[in-house]
Amino acid sequence: MKVLILAGGFGTRLYPLTWARPKSIVPLANTPFLERMLTWLRRHGLMDVILAVNHLPEMIRDCFGDGSSFGVNLEFLLEDIPLGSGGAIRNAQHLLGEETFLVLNGDILTDLNLEKMIQFHRTRKAQMTISLARVEDPSGYGVVDMEADGRLRRFVEKPAPEEAPSNYINAGAWLFEPETLDKMPVKGTPFSVEREFWPKCLEEGMPMFGYPEDCYWMDIGTVNRYLEAHRDLLAGRIQVSIKEPEISPRIWQGKGAQVHPGATLIAPVIIGAGATVGPDAEISDTVIGPGSIIEAGAVVCKSVLWEKVQVGQGARITNSVIGARQKIDPKRILDDTAVEELGARSPEE
């Protein structure tokens, strides 16, 4: 089965972190996010992957090549203009073949059982099946109304809590039969599959189903959710591989990393390869990127530092993301912020 990953957006909700790198290679616990997705797909036997890209495609290609180093076959499909979710799917028709195919949003972190979803799709003889995640407050999402067997009745966009037909939302993994492509607008037309194509298909009586599964799911497309995904990963709420060896319970330390005996590590913590933590520094609930330097007396809590960040003496960083190669001045206090990587510039400049 072919898999199409939609990675053509500019990652604007993650600004300033995506000013200089595409969302696909933003690190999640010191591993590019796309690598996390490919590992998940490979675990379910899905190795033929198409990546729809538009923003900084060469950076992604340089990182992943043809996918062979990651155990998959990876093809790149460049969009000259942003095509939206639907336009990107239609644009890939010549690569998707004549079999059922899977489409994924490029910013979902999940342990959804894809084999079970595929079985559900085939048992229901569905034309399209949409993975569903259950949320406490669905008012900020597109919500589905469905029958007991999962057949979809309608979509309700951002309903008031008391008007929501369910707590299930689109979770960003979709199965399509190949004939659905011929019902889409002509190739090269930008459109949204969620807001334009799906409602039209329901009106025409196409058999569309929702697949609810009690699994972990997170859209990492905002800074707050990116941090939340790290907290969940560190706490073990989603099981992913961590490349650094675990030296004590929920403390991981990479090759060549040096932690001063007078420093304090409060689990869970990941210290990347070649990083240095100085005397009297305190690190808690945090990911430290490879080659980073945490100087004496600095405190880093509930944060994510990318590679080669330098935190000056006595600085305090809380609930923040610090981009690659940044230098945080001594005694500086950062709270609830995101700092772009060194040299990155806003696309609006």
Each residue's pLDDT tens digit, 143-200: 999 999 999 999 888 888 888 889 999 999 999 999 999 999 999 999 999 989 999 9
Output the pTM of the full model.
Answer: 0.94
Q: Is the dihedral of CA 309, 315, 321, 327 positive or negative?
A: negative
Q: Give residue for tokens 């919500």.
A: 143
Return the structure tokens found at 179: 């004939």
pLDDT at residue 12 in the model: 86
pLDDT at residue 137 in the model: 86
* CA-wise closest residue to 156 among 142, 175, 168, 167: 142
Given 158, 183, 187, 331, which residue is catalytic? 158
158 is catalytic: yes
Question: Measured in Å, how far apart are the chain's first and last C-alpha atoms?
Answer: 42
Quick check: helix, strand or coil at residue 79?
A: coil
Give the separation between CA 61 and CA 57, rounded to whole angstroms.
6
User: Which residue segments constitute the domains of the chain, with CATH numbers given?
Assistant: 2-221 (3.90.550.10), 242-339 (2.160.10.10)
Q: How far is CA 254 from CA 42, 173, 257, in A?
A: 25, 33, 6
Q: What is the DSSP string of 219-274?
A: E--SHHHHHHHHHHHHHTSS----SS-EEETTEEE-TT-EE-TT-EEEEEEEE-TT
